[in-house]
Structure 1
Amino acid sequence: MASLHRFSMVARAHAGLGQWLLAERDQLPVWIVVAFGAGIAAWFALPGSEWPMAVIALSLAGALALLARFRSWSAMELGARCLFVGLLMLVAGCATMAWRAERVAADPLAAPWFGTLAGRIEARETLPARDRVRLIVRPAPALGLPERVRVNLDLELDSPALQPGAIVSARARLMPPAQAALPGGYSFAQRAWFDRLGATGSLLDRPRVLRPGGAGGLLDSLRAWISAHIQAQVPGGAGGIAATLATGDRGAIREEDAEAMRASGLAHLLSISGLHVTALIGAVWLLTLRLLALFPPLARAWRLPLVAAGAGALAGIGYTLLTGAEVPTIRSCAAALLVLLALALGRDPVSPRLIAAGAFAVLLVWPESLMGPSFQLSFAAVTAIVALHDHPAMRNWAATDLGWAGRAGRSLAMTFLTGLLIEFTLMPIALHHFGKAGLYGALANMIAIPLTTFVIMPLEALALLLDLVGIGAPFWWLCGVAIEALIDVAHAVADTPGAVALFPRSGAPVFALFVIGGLWLFLWRTRGRWLGLVPVAIASLLAALQPAPDLMVTGDGQHVAVNAPDGALVLLRRRTGDFALQSLSESAAFQGEPIAIEDWPGARCNADFCSLVLHSGERSHRVLIGRSRERVPERALAAACRRADIVIAGRWLPASCRPRWFKADRVLLDRIGGLAIYLADRKVRTVAQGHAGHPWWDRAMALRQAAREKARAERLSTRPR
C-alpha cells in the first residue's frame, strides 16, 4: 500500500508539472537562453579545464539518456523536451565560453618592464577629465612584448599626430595586467585577457612619431569631432555628460559628477544602452510616421509603419556604431530592432522573448560579458520593466480610460513603481560587484529619466541638427541648463545621509541565489512564479548576515587593513593610493576616513613591524604585521613569530618564522594573491579561490614563475666562482 501511495503521489506531481509547463509554454523559449547563460557561468565558476569538460560530458550523457529513453523527439513529453533542450544549451554555453577563452589567448607580460616602446597605435581615447590620453599600441616584435599593450600619456604631452596607424617611440613603464587586489574585487587581468591586452603602463615622455598615421576610421573621426564640438558648445561638467549622451565618450565627465551619478542610482544614464537607443529609435519612428502621413499619396502607396520601422532601424544602427558599439548598446539595438519588427508586423512588442533574443545575440559573440556588471545591470533592468508592464494588472490599469489628471497621476505612479522595481532588482548586482548600492535611486530616476528622455536628448539632437545652419546656440544653452539640473539632482541625492548602503561581499553562491530567484519571478507568468521569492529571501538573509573581514591584505603585501573592533578602518600605510584605499574600504564595508596604524591606540609599532591584538568573541588573536624590507635578526623574528597567531608581511619570511595559526609572506601572496581573514571562524578567503584554473590567472602565474627562474639562473651564472 505504501508503494502504491508513493506511486500515486509521483504520478500526480508528474501530471501537475506537465500542466504547469503547458500553461507556461509561451515562456519556455526564454529559458533556452537562460540555460545557455548557465553554461557560460559554469565555465567561470568551475576551476580548471577539467571541471567544465565534466559538465559538458555529464550534460551530453543526460541528453542522450533522455533520447534513448523516449527513442525520438516526437515521443518525448513536454517536460522531457525542456530538459533535453536545456542540457544541450548548457553544453553549448560552456563550450562557447571555453572556445572564446582559447581564441583570444594572449600571454600577459611576465614582469615589470622599463625601456623604449616602439610600435603602431591601434586605438586612441582622450580622457580630458583625467588629463590623459589612452593608447592601444602594438609593439614591435623585436621588443619581445605582448601583442597589444595599453598605455596612458599625460594630456600635456599629447600630439595631433598620435592617431591610429602612426608608428611611435617613447620611454615607457609597463606592468602585467593587475589581478584582483582582494577576494571578490575587480580583476582587470580577466578583462584584459578577453580584450587581448598583455600589459598596461605609462609613456614617460612625448612620443616621437616615426611614421604618421591616418586620421582614424570615419566613425572614430566623426565621434571625436562631435564630442569636441559638443564640449565647445556646452562648457563645464554639463558638456562632458552631453558628449557622453551623443557619442558614448565618457572621458570628459568629471570624477565627482560620475561618483554622484553612481551613488544616486543614475549611472545607467551615462552608459549608452536601452534608454538612449529606445529614445532615439522611438523619436525617429514616430517622426517618420507623422511626416509621411502628411502626404496622402505616399500613405496610400507605402505601408507607413514598415517605412518608419526601417528609418528607426537605420537610426539605431548608426547610433550604435557612432557610440562605439559597446555590449549594452548592441543589446539595446538588437532588442529595439526586434520591437520595430514586431510593430511593423502588428505583433505585441513587449515580450521577454525579445529580451532573450537580444541577450542571445550578445552572448554568442561576447559570452564573457555575462559576468560583467554592464550586461547584468542592463538586462536585469529591462527584464524587470517588461515583466512589470506585461503583468495583467498593469495592462488593465494602463488601458483604463482616465481624464488628463488621472493619466498624469498614473504616469507618475508607473514611473515611481518602475524605478522602485529597478532599484530592488539592481541592488543585488551592485552589492555583488561593488559592495554598495544606492537607496534613493527610485526617487532620483523619477526626475532624471523623464528629464533625460524628453528634454535633454531631444534638445541635444535639435541643437546638433540646427548647427548645420548655424542657429543651434539657444538650444545648446537650454540643453546645458537641463544637464546642470540633472547633475544637481545627482549630487543632492548622493549627499543625502544614508544614500548609499555598504555591505561585505557575500560571494558567488549568494549572488547565484539572487539570480535564480529573480529569473524565476520575472520569466514565468503563472502563480508558480512567486516561488522565486524563496531563493531571494534566503540570499537576502545570507547577505545581511555576511560578516566583514577582520584583516585584508592586497596581493603585493604592501597594503594591509584592519577592521578594528571600535569601528575604525586601520591602514598599514599612511599614504595609500586611491585604488587600494577604495578596494580596502569596499571589502570592509567601511565609509569614512581611515586612520594609520601608528595612530591607532590598539597597535604598537616600530620601523619594521606592528603588533596588535584583535578580539573575536572570547578568543584573542595576536597579529604581527611587517612594515619594511630591512634585514631583521632571524632569532628575534622567530621569537616574535612564536608569540603571534598571525604574521603578515610583504617580504620573504624565513622558515623559522612559525606563528601559531597563519603566515602570509611574499612567497604565499605570490601564489594566492590578496586575502581576507575572518577571525570568528578562522577562515581565509583568497583571490586564487575565485580565479585559479582560469587562463588569465594560470598563464600569469606560470610566466611569472618562469621569469623568476630565469633571473635566478642568470644571477647564479654571473656569480664569481
Structure 2
Amino acid sequence: MLKNPDMAALSDAFILADSHKLVWAAVCLVSGCVLHESLSPSVLTIIIVVIGLCCGPSALRRQLTLCFCLFAVIAGLISSEAEIRRADHIMLAEPVTAELSGIVQTKIVRSSERLSLTLKDISSSEPRLAALHKVRFSIAADALSVLPGDKVRARVRLFPLSPPAFAGRPDYARNQFLSGLSATGFAYQAGLAEAQADKSWSMRLNRWRHQFAADLNAYMGPPYGGLAAALLVGVRDHIPAPVYDSFRASGLAHLLAISGLHMGLFCLSVLMVIRAGFACFPRLCQRWSPRRFAAVMALLCGFFYLLISGGPVSAIRAFVMAMIILLAVLADRPALTLRNLALAAFCLLLVSPSFVYAAGFQLSFVASFAIIAGLEIISTHSPANRVLHYVFFVLLTSALAGMVTIPFIAYHFGQFTL
C-alpha cells in the first residue's frame, strides 16, 4: 500500500524523529530570543515577515528541517516580544524617599544582617510610588519579623533599576523588569501593618514554606535545619553565612538550589518504591501496568515538590525535563535523549523567553547536555566490568558537567572553582 506523500511530509514535520534536527531547532529558538534584545520594533517586524516568506518555499521544496528552524527563530522573536508587552509597567525614573505600604510577596535573608522584601499592591501618598507595580528593598534582619502575605508599612529610599556596570555584564535590570519590579532600594524603618492581608492560595503556600523552614530549623538546629529546609522547600534563609560561604568556596553551592539533581532523585525514588511495592503483589501486576502507574505517581509527586519548592527557574526546568522523561516512559520511548532536552527548552522558552538569560537555566541545560552527550561515549567506550563502568560513568559525567559550566559560572558570578 502506497503512503500518501503529503501525509508523510506532514508527519515528518511534526514528529522530527531525528533528535539532532530538534536540537538545532532549539538552538534557533534560543537565537531568536537573544536576537530580539538588539532589535527595534520596526526591524523586528521586517525580520519576521522575511523569515516567514522563506518558510513557504522551504516547505514546498520539502526542506522541512530548514522550515522548522526558521519557524523556531520566529517563535523566539514573537514570544520575547509578547513577554515584554506582558511586563509593561511603570518604572521609577529618579530616586525617591517616601513612605509606602504593600503586601510582602517574597522574603529573602541575604545574609545574617540584611532582609530583602518584595512588596506588591503598593499604596503611598507619593504619586510616583503609588503607580509602581512592585518594589524591593532591604532592611536590617532584626528590625522586622514578617511572612509572605503580611502587609508592611515602611519609609524607604528607592532608586531606578540599575543597568549593567559595563558592557558585557549580565543585565539584571532587564530580568527585574520582566519579573515585575519597578524600583529597588532600602528602608529606614518598617513595621507590620496587617498580618496575612493576602489570603490567596499561592500566598498561603509561600507563607507555609517559610513557617515550615523556621520550624524545621528550630527542631533540627543550625546548620542542619537550614540545609534541610533549603533542600525540601527551597528556603535558604536559615543557612548560617559561614556555612553558605564554605559551600560557595568549594563549588558546591548549586547543591543548595533545587534543580535537576533533587527533582531527579525524588521522582526516581517514587518510581522505584512504587515498582518495588508492585513486585510484592503479583496479582496487581496482572491488572495494572506497574511501570506506567509508577510513572504517573512520580509525575504527580514531582509536581507537588515543584509547588513546595517555590518554583525557581532551576526547579521548573527540572520538572519539565522529568515530565518529558516520564511521558516517554508512558509512551515506551527512550527517556534520556537530546530530543527530550530540546523539548524541555521549547516548553520553557516559549512561555518565558527571559529564562535564556538566567544563570540557573544556562547551567542546568548546559550540564544536562554534557551528561546526555557523555552517555553516548559511555555506551561505546565503557569498560565491560560493572564496577568500572559505574566509576567511569561518574567520573566522566562529573568532568563533562564541570568543564562546560565553568565559562557560565565565571560570567555570572565572577569566580569559579577547579
2:96 to 113, 124, 127: 113
- Per the alignment, in what secondary structure is the counterpart of residue 185 of structure 2? strand
Report the counterpart of residue 409 of structure 2 in structure 1: 430
From 3, 24, 27, the equivalent of 2:20 is 27
The one of 151, 163, 175 aligned to 1:179: 163
Q: Structure 1 CA distance, aligned partners of 2:242 and 2:47?
A: 45
Instruction: Report deviation, 1:122.
Output: 4.2
SS of structure 1 residue aligned to 2:189: coil
Q: CA deviation at 1:379?
A: 0.3
In 2, Cα distance between equivalents of 1:308 and 1:370: 32
**Percent of matched pairs sharing the same residue:** 27
Per the normalisation by structure 1, the TM-score is 0.52
Q: Which one of 48, 54, 64 corresponds to residue 56 of structure 1?
A: 48
- Measured after TM superposition, the shift of residue 437 of structure 1 is 2.6
Partner SS, residue 181 of structure 2:
coil
> Structure 1 residues 280, 211: CA separation in 2 closer, same or farther (over 3 Å shift)?
closer
Which residue of structure 1 lines up, in the alignment, with residue 390 of structure 2? 411
The answer as to whether partners of 1:231 and 1:239 remain within 8 angstroms in 2 is: yes
- What is aligned with 1:234? 220
Aligned 1:608-687 pairs, distance under 5 A:
none
Gaps of 5+ in 2: 1-15
Change (3 A) 1:271 1:387: same
SS of the residue corresponding to residue 213 of structure 1 reads coil
CA spacing shift, 1:147–1:352, aligned 2, 3 Å? same
- Report if aligned partners of 1:163, 1:213 keep a CA contact under 8 Å in 2: no
Give the 3 Å change call, closer, same or farther, for CA 96–311 of structure 1 in structure 2: same
Q: What are the Cα deviations for residues 38-75 of structure 1, in whole angstroms up to 9, with x where unaligned?
A: 1001112x2533443343233223334x25xxxxx4x5
Q: Within the alignment, does 1:305 sit opposite 2:291 as a pair?
A: yes
- Provide Cα deviations, 1:494-552, integer angstroms capped at 9, x if missing partner: xxxxxxxxxxxxxxxxxxxxxxxxxxxxxxxxxxxxxxxxxxxxxxxxxxxxxxxxxxx
- Given that 2:222 and 2:239 are in contact with CA atoms closer than 8 Å, whether structure 1 keeps it comes out as no
Looking at structure 1, the residues matched to 405 and 196 of structure 2 have their Cα atoms a distance apart, in angstroms, of 46
Could you tell me whether the CA contact under 8 Å between 1:327 and 1:362 is conserved in 2? no
- Alpha-carbon distance, 1:347 to partner: 2.3
* Pair 1:130 & 2:112 matched: yes
Partner of 1:635 in structure 2? none
**What does 1:69-80 align with in structure 2 at a 5 Å threshold?**
73=59, 75-77=60-62, 80=63
CA-to-aligned-CA distance 1:10-38 (integer Å, 9 cap, x gap): xxxxxxxxxxxxx9934212222221111
The aligned residue for residue 65 of structure 2 is: 82
Q: Which residue of 1 aligns with 2:330?
A: 344
Aligned-partner Cα distance in 2 for 1:130–1:181? 26
Separation in 2, partners of 1:125, 1:105: 24
* 8 Å Cα contact 1:215/1:221 also seen in 2: no
Show the counterpart of 1:335: 321
Q: Which amino acid aligns with 1:261?
A: F
Query: Are residue 152 (structure 1) and residue 135 (structure 2) matched?
Result: no
Task: Return the offset for 1:323.
Answer: 0.4
- Alignment-mate amino acid for residue 103 of structure 1: R
- Mapped to 1, the partners of 2:348 and 2:396 lie a distance apart of 29
Q: Which SS does the other structure have where 2:416 is aligned?
A: strand
Q: Is the 8 A contact 1:39 1:94 kept in 2?
A: yes
Contact 1:168 1:207 in 2 (8 A): yes
- In the alignment, which residue of structure 2 is the partner of 1:536? none
How big is the shift at 1:169? 2.3
Aligned to 1:454: none
Distance 2:403 2:334 in 1: 27
Q: Is the 8 A contact 1:163 1:215 kept in 2?
A: no
3-state secondary structure, aligned to 1:198: strand
> Structure 1 residues 34 and 186 mapped into 2: Cα distance closer, same or farther (>3 Å)?
closer
Output the CA distance in 2 between the equivalents of 1:236 and 1:27. Answer: 47
Match for residue 185 of structure 2 among 201, 209, 215:
201
Worse-matched range after superposition: 256-265 or 107-116: 256-265
Letter in 2 for 1:432: Y
* Equivalent residues of 2:328, 2:335 under 8 A apart: yes
Determine if the alignment matches structure 1 residue 394 to structure 2 residue 378.
yes
1:460-486 CA distance string (max 9 Å, x none): xxxxxxxxxxxxxxxxxxxxxxxxxxx
Rounded to whole Å, the distance in 1 between the matches of 2:198 and 2:48 is 47
Give CA deviations for 1:178-233 in whole Å, capped at 9, x if unaligned: 22222222433112110111111222223251575256734223312331233123
- 1:365 equivalenced with 2:351 (yes/no): yes
Superposed displacement of residue 435, structure 1: 3.9
For the 8 Å contact 1:352–1:383, the answer to whether it is kept is: yes
What secondary structure is seen at the aligned counterpart in 1 of 2:71?
A: helix
Mapped contact 2:103–2:198 kept (Cα < 8 A): no
Cα distance in 2, alignment partners of residues 184 and 51 from structure 1: 23
Distance 1:285 1:218 in 2: 29
* Structure 1 residues 397 and 286: CA distance shift in structure 2, 3 A: farther
Q: Secondary structure at the match of 1:42?
A: helix
> Who is 2:261 aligned against?
275
How many angstroms apart in 2 are the aligned matches of 1:178 and 1:342? 44
Distance 2:177 2:206 in 1: 24
2-side partners of 1:383 and 1:81: how far apart?
25
Match of 2:250 among 260, 264, 267: 264
1:425-458 deviation line (CA, Å, top 9, x unaligned) = 112222333343322xxxxxxxxxxxxxxxxxxx
Check whether the contact 2:92–2:159 (CA below 8 A) recurs between aligned residues.
Answer: yes
- Structure 1's unaligned 5+ residue stretches are 1-22, 68-72, 440-721
1:260/1:24 CA distance change after superposition, 3 Å: farther
1:256 Cα offset (Å)? 4.1
Deviation, 1:312, is 0.7
Q: Secondary structure at the match of 2:97?
A: strand
Q: Distance in 1 between matches of 2:179 and 2:110?
A: 23
Residue of 72, 94, 99 corresponding to 2:82: 99
- The aligned amino acid for 2:272 is L
Q: In 2 relative to 1, CA 365–26 (structure 1 residues): closer, same or farther, beyond 3 Å?
A: closer
Cross-structure match for 2:282: 296
Change (3 A) 1:344 1:152: same
Equivalent residue letter for 2:289: R
Residue 282 of structure 1 aligns to which amino acid in structure 2? L
Taking only aligned residues, the RMSD between alpha carbons, in angstroms, comes to: 2.5
Map of 2:6 onto structure 1: none
Counterpart residue identity of residue 92, structure 1: A
Per the alignment, residue 10 of structure 2 pairs with none
Name 2:4's counterpart in structure 1. none
Q: Given the two structures, how large is their TM-score scaled by the length of structure 2?
A: 0.87
Residues in 1 aligned to 2:304 and 2:290: alpha-carbon distance in whole angstroms: 21
Instruction: Write the distance in 2 (CA, Å) between the matches of 1:55 and 1:287.
Output: 52
Q: Which of structures 1 and 2 has the bigger CA Rg?
A: 1
Distance 2:317 2:148 in 1: 29
User: Is residue 98–residue 126 contact of structure 2 (8 Å, CA) maintained in 1?
Assistant: no
